[in-house]
Amino acid sequence: MAEALKADVVIVGGGTAGCSTALHLRQRGLSVVLLEARLCGSQASGVNYGGVRRQGRAYPELPLATRSRAVWDRLPSLVGHDGEFVVSGHLKLARSDAEMAELETWATGARERGVGVELFGRNAIRARYPWLGEQVIGASLVADDGHANPRLVAPLFARAARKAGATLREQTRVTAASRDAGGFIVGTDKGVTVRASTLVNVAGAWGHEIAAMFGDRLPEELMTPNMCVTEPLPFVVEHNLGVVGGNVYIRQIARGNVIFGGGSGWGDAGAGRARALPPITSGAIARAVEVVPGLRGARLLRSWSGLEGAMPDGIPVIGASPSTPGLIHAFGFSGHGFQLGPGMGEILGELVLEGRSATPLQPFAPERFAAAGIAAR
């Protein structure tokens, strides 16, 4: 049935970024319609590993991550629940001297940018973490990192945004979008049309498709991290764990299940589907057992993957469209946008209302690829 909606802002995509933006804009008094092709939080935001870390980020991303980290602490007052966010610390492990040197280099730059980092050498690691495998020779701890339950966070923001007066339409896919003198006109597969003066494109792995509707050709690619979860086990993995190079990452939740990932699964963005691949899962199990030998013999309950947009330089696109006034892009979070999601509401809210953000966004400018001669495929 045809239906025409009007709002100050139309948001395309109901992941954590979109739902937190909807809430923030409502809190600042704007009318909002959010369109989500499936269910809010059903894509990357709902199926990710759950890592909430600043450790290991590219330096230009640290101001964003630091800002978002503060929002994570406020989840109970903001959305009525903590999203099972646990401040466990993130421990990144070195398995060679070269890897330890990499951790030391990152720590120097991160400390200059206000991130507290503690380094451990071989003896300290053995004494402090006897449950780690022999091949671990050093580590770096960011104590205020942690992890959360991705199944909860985007739906919590969606619920809070609805309560604050945003109109959220799920199972409603944007099929066309254009701009005329009156603003944006967005068409959907459900006959709903939205008119708005601002369009925020937070469509995740499909962000480049929405951008292309306005002639912005951005080189977003697909990534599909391979994940699995064990049966509940005695509690041993006290931190969210990563390794230099990123080929395995491990966290244990309060119920005892150990969630870990590493390598890439299979995905088809057109079909909206992803799944884990058994040989990749086997490789991740072997690496996880090397890092935490106590995991040997644990039974897996489930494996999965998800669809994530990645940019060639590994950091997202966040900023105004080069071609279309009032169009704002924020996608291509390249495997680390769950931590950034709660903060994206504030940042995109500033872009919508003030045309600039208090957090430096220049490194994320959509124009950077054209300027560097990198074309969309």
Ligand X SMILES: Cc1cc2nc3c(=O)[nH]c(=O)nc-3n(C[C@H](O)[C@H](O)[C@H](O)COP(=O)(O)OP(=O)(O)OC[C@H]3O[C@@H](n4cnc5c(N)ncnc54)[C@H](O)[C@@H]3O)c2cc1C
Cα dihedral: 220, 366, 112, 101 (round 10): 30
Rg, Å, the chain Cα set? 21
Beta carbon of residue 50, minimum distance to ligand X (angstroms, whole number):
6
Q: Which of 24, 30, 33, 42 binds ligand X (CB under 6 A)?
A: 42
Phi, psi of 177 (to 5 degrees): -155, 140
Token pair for 144: 């205020």
Token pair for 148: 């959360």
45 binds ligand X per the rule CB under 6 A? yes
Q: Which of 88, 201, 303, 339 binds ligand X (CB under 6 A)?
A: 339
Token pair for 230: 């064990």
204 binds ligand X per the rule CB under 6 A? yes
338 binds ligand X per the rule CB under 6 A? yes
Which among 110, 99, 127, 103 has a CA at the least distance from the CA of 63?
110
Sheet holding 138-142, edge to edge: 118-120, 138-142, 90-94, 240-243, 249-252, 257-264, 225-232, 300-304
**Nearest CB to ligand X, comparing residues 35 and 94:** 35
Beta carbon of residue 16, minimum distance to ligand X (angstroms, whole number):
5
**Nearest CB to ligand X, comparing residues 75 and 125:** 75
**Nearest CB to ligand X, comparing residues 125 and 348:** 348
Beta carbon of residue 127, minimum distance to ligand X (angstroms, whole number):
28
Which among 80, 120, 74 has a CA at the least distance from the CA of 99?
120
Q: Which of 263, 341, 342, 343 binds ligand X (CB under 6 A)?
A: 341
**Nearest CB to ligand X, comparing residues 125 and 336:** 336
Q: How many residues bind ligand X (CB under 6 A)?
A: 40
225 binds ligand X per the rule CB under 6 A? yes
Q: Which stretch binds ligand X (CB under 6 A): 29-37, 72-80, 87-95, 292-300?
A: 29-37
Q: Which stretch binds ligand X (CB under 6 A): 97-105, 202-210, 290-298, 350-358?
A: 202-210
333 binds ligand X per the rule CB under 6 A? yes
Nearest-angstrom CA–CA distance, 351 and 202: 13
**Nearest CB to ligand X, comparing residues 125 and 201:** 201
303 binds ligand X per the rule CB under 6 A? no
**Nearest residue to ligand X, using CB?**
15
Q: Which residue has the tokens 């604050």?
A: 164
**Nearest CB to ligand X, comparing residues 84 and 308:** 308
198 binds ligand X per the rule CB under 6 A? no
**Nearest CB to ligand X, comparing residues 51 and 138:** 51
Nearest-angstrom CA–CA distance, 111 and 67: 16
Nearest-angstrom CA–CA distance, 165 and 24: 11
Count CB atoms within 10 A of the CB of residue 71.
19
337 binds ligand X per the rule CB under 6 A? yes
12 binds ligand X per the rule CB under 6 A? yes
Q: Which of 236, 335, 359, 376 binds ligand X (CB under 6 A)?
A: 335
Rounded alpha-carbon distances, angstroms, from residue 193 to 30, 167, 186, 187 = 19, 13, 6, 5
Nearest-angstrom CA–CA distance, 340 and 245: 21
320: amino acid identity, one letter = A
Sign of the torsion formed by the C-alpha atoms of 359, 362, 363 and 364: positive
213 binds ligand X per the rule CB under 6 A? no
47 binds ligand X per the rule CB under 6 A? yes
Beta carbon of residue 183, minimum distance to ligand X (angstroms, whole number):
18
The SS3 call for residue 91 is: strand
155 binds ligand X per the rule CB under 6 A? no
336 binds ligand X per the rule CB under 6 A? yes
- HEC per residue, 319-337: EECCCCCCEEEEECECCCH
Instruction: Enumerate binding residues for ligand X (CB under 6 A).
Output: 12-18, 35-38, 42-45, 47-51, 173-174, 202-206, 225, 227, 305-306, 308, 331, 333, 335-339, 341
